[in-house]
Amino acid sequence: MTDLLYQTDSYLREFDAQVIELDEENRGIILDRTAFYPAGGGQPSDYGLLTAGEIQYPVKKVKKIAGQAVHYVEGEAALPPVGARLHGHLDWERRYQLMRTHTAMHILCGVIFRDYGASVTGGDMDPLQGRMDFEFETMHHELVEEIQQAVNLEIARALPVHTAILPRDEAFKIPDLIRTKINLLPEGILQVRVVEIVGLDLQADGGTHVHNTAEVGHMHIVDYKSKGKINKRIYVEVGDAQ
């Protein structure tokens, strides 16, 4: 199992690790530990570099497969042997943008659940933009303006954002832990990572987040669409504080 360093420190930009396995056909490198986030839960994977001395391996995709983070690297350099020590360096600008975006999505989710009781039915994000689907029968301009204003008020409140890894039984004692319409946590998962925006939102989540809502900046709802009778999609962009 790869030790996922980002789960306890999303601000970690560099790390050292050892190669424990290779996927030579697909130029995949599996490490004993990593700060790279593997794509999942609507959040895309990190980019960056793995280096061995003067040799650089650009990382453009990371996937979690059977508990191991596979780093797919570009270039022509021969893959390092199993047992080699590598240094990892994240594309921090991209990572931090994704952290701001992911936290913004949680604020949006928290506001809508608190104010309207609507569950999430889907979501996706890229750096500084994303979309979320909610169980709304109707959506209109005035409602969207109301939601946007409420979200930015919570951002401005500078609420702390905490993460914790809890035993499954303890985690599921938390009311409304799962905010998605479908429970995405398989029975075999014994520990659950939870993300709390203090005073607003608490839910199971595996992604990376900022430490305080003030770091998000400003969220703007740029569009909304009906995706079904009781399914409405909201598109957002994240910018600097206004």
What share of the chain has pLDDT > 90, as a percent?
A: 81
Residue 103 belongs to domain with CATH number:
3.30.980.10
Q: Do residues 58 and 100 both lie within one domain?
A: no
Q: How far is Cα 205 from Cα 201, in angstroms, rounded to an integer? A: 11
Q: What is the mean pLDDT of residues 166-191?
A: 65
Averaged pLDDT of the chain = 92
- Cβ pair 59, 48 in contact under 8 A: yes
Is the Cα dihedral 187, 193, 199, 201 positive or negative?
negative
Q: What is the mean pLDDT of residues 130-138?
A: 94
Q: Are strands 191-197 and 68-73 parallel, antiparallel or unpaired?
A: unpaired
**Amino acid 190: pLDDT:** 72
Q: Do residues 154 and 191 both lie within one domain?
A: yes
Q: Do residues 77 and 180 both lie within one domain?
A: no
Q: Do residues 126 and 209 both lie within one domain?
A: yes
Q: Do residues 8 and 126 both lie within one domain?
A: no
- The torsion defined by the Cα of 134, 136, 142 and 147, in degrees rounded to 10, comes to -40
Listed residue (221, 198, 220) closest to 209, CA to CA: 198
Q: Do residues 186 and 120 both lie within one domain?
A: yes
- Global pTM value: 0.92
Listed residue (76, 79, 75, 48) closest to 62, CA to CA: 48
Report the number of secondary-structure helices (H) and strands (E) in the chain.
3, 15
- Cβ pair 118, 133 in contact under 8 A: no
Q: Write out the two tokens for 223.
A: 């569009």
**191-208 per-position pLDDT tens digit:** 889 999 999 999 889 999
**Amino acid 229: pLDDT:** 87
**Amino acid 171: pLDDT:** 72
**Amino acid 182: pLDDT:** 47
Per-residue b/e over 1-16, b at no fewer than 16 CB within 10 Å? Answer: ebebbbbeebeeeebe
Q: Do residues 85 and 150 both lie within one domain?
A: no
Question: Would you say residue 176 has pLDDT above 70?
Answer: no
SS3 at position 100: helix
Residue 15 belongs to domain with CATH number:
2.40.30.130
DSSP state of 78: P
**Amino acid 21: pLDDT:** 97
Instruction: Please give the C-alpha separations between residue 32 and each of 5, 18, 56, 208, in angstroms, as whole numbers.
Output: 10, 6, 19, 20
Host domain of residue 140: 95-239
Of 146-155, 212-221, 228-237, the least confident: 228-237
Q: How far is Cα 141 from Cα 135, in angstroms, rounded to an integer? A: 17
Question: Would you say residue 168 has pLDDT above 80?
Answer: no
Q: Write out the two tokens for 197.
A: 């925006």
Question: Would you say residue 12 has pLDDT above 60?
Answer: yes
Q: Which of 56, 90, 124 is the last residue of a domain?
A: 90
**33-90 per-position pLDDT tens digit:** 999 999 998 999 999 999 999 999 999 999 999 889 999 999 999 999 999 999 999 9
Q: Do residues 106 and 216 both lie within one domain?
A: yes
Q: Do residues 82 and 186 both lie within one domain?
A: no
Q: Which of 90, 120, 136 is the last residue of a domain?
A: 90
**Amino acid 11: pLDDT:** 98
In DSSP terms, which residues pair with 30 in a beta bridge? 21, 70
What share of the chain has pLDDT > 70, as a percent?
A: 93
Range list of H helices, the chain: 92-116, 141-156, 168-171
Q: What is the mean pLDDT of residues 221-229?
A: 93
Question: Would you say residue 231 has pLDDT above 90?
Answer: yes
